[in-house]
Amino acid sequence: MLDAAKTDETLLEVNNIEVIYNHVILVLKGVSLNVKKGGITALLGGNGAGKTTTLKAISNLLHSERGEVTKGSIIYKGERVQDLDPATLVKRGVIQVMEGRHCFEHLTVEENLLTGAYTRKASKGEIDADLQMVYDYFPRLKERRKSQAGYTSGGEQQMVAIGRALMSRPDTVLLDEPSMGLAPQLVEQIFEIVKSVNEKEGVSFLLAEQNTNVALKYAHFGYILENGRVVMDGPASELRENPDVKEFYLGVSDEGRKSFRDVRSYRRRKRWLA
């Protein structure tokens, strides 16, 4: 679909990582994935599959959670980045938008956006231009720029969180569950914006989502994570057509709608693990 996504250059490489919390809880059991330059890569899976842990392992945010990468490697632009602190990684171009759209509730929308530029040595002119860029993508934020963030809607807060990340001028955004708790129409709106940032600014995305349907509509490539392991991967167009993905993640199949909570039938049918 996207020419940029067809370049084969790998920006981020996660090689067989293992993550342990509190020295004993093994959560990621050898996860490998690649993020292509200029693409949108989806990391899919149900609640507790390990999506957030994977993103935090990449952006080095596990320490505060008493988590640790105990095996494997993470390579960004050909360099090992495991030992960098999150702020250094932001300077290298990788930024995470946390699940639950964290923003500073007492600051205005615009002040929140400006905090995103803190790692850069940018002039006021450059920062103003970037703010304008964010407002071009999110006209809604421009209208709300003087509002206290805590009083804006869930959708607006998600926009603030993404816009704030864009203010660091990233090459790669790790976006954790942008659809969470938002109405379908708003989810589409946010994904449309992600798509145009990807196409026009060339920003690559690694997108963690439980909403498989919308993620596979916008992503170029996807990985499905279950219980700390990648159980399936492929171009988004192929995953969308895969009968198991349809049945257990998209909730549609030839036999009609089903829930992937139907665990017994799920285990029986889960051919990709056989």
Q: Can you give the binding site for Mg ion, defined by CB under 5 A?
A: 51-52, 99
The DSSP bridge partners found for residue 173 are: 95, 205
Nearer to ligand ADP, 189 or 210 (CB): 210
Find which of Mg ion, ligand ADP, none residue 53 binds, CB within 5 to 8 Å per kind.
ligand ADP
Mind giving me the DSSP string for 226-272?
ETTEEEEEEEHHHHHH-HHHHHHTSS--TT----TT-HHHHHHH-GG
50 binds ligand ADP (CB under 6 A): yes
Least gap, CB of 22 to ligand ADP (angstroms):
6
- Considering the complex, what minimum distance in angstroms separates the CB of residue 20 from ligand ADP? 9
Residue in 2, 25, 183, 252 binding ligand ADP, rule: CB under 6 A? 25
Closest CB to ligand ADP among residues 24, 274: 24
What DSSP line would sit under 152-171, residue for residue? S-HHHHHHHHHHHHHTT--S
Closest-CB residue for Mg ion? 52
* Contact pick of 38, 39, 45, 163 for ligand ADP (by CB under 6 A): 45
Candidates 221, 219, 218; CA nearest to 234 is 221
Spell out the residues 6+ positions from residue 81 whose beta carbon is closer than 8 angstroms to its own: 58, 60, 74, 75, 89, 92, 94
Using the rule CB under 6 A, is 101 a contact of ligand ADP?
Answer: no
34 or 52: whose CB is closer to Mg ion? 52
Rounded CA-CA distance 176/29 in Å is: 20
Instruction: Look up residue 185 and give its two tokens.
Output: 């129409």
The nearer residue to Mg ion, 135 or 249, going by C-beta atoms, is: 249
Residues forming the site for ligand ADP (CB under 6 A):
21-22, 25, 27, 45, 47-53, 65, 67
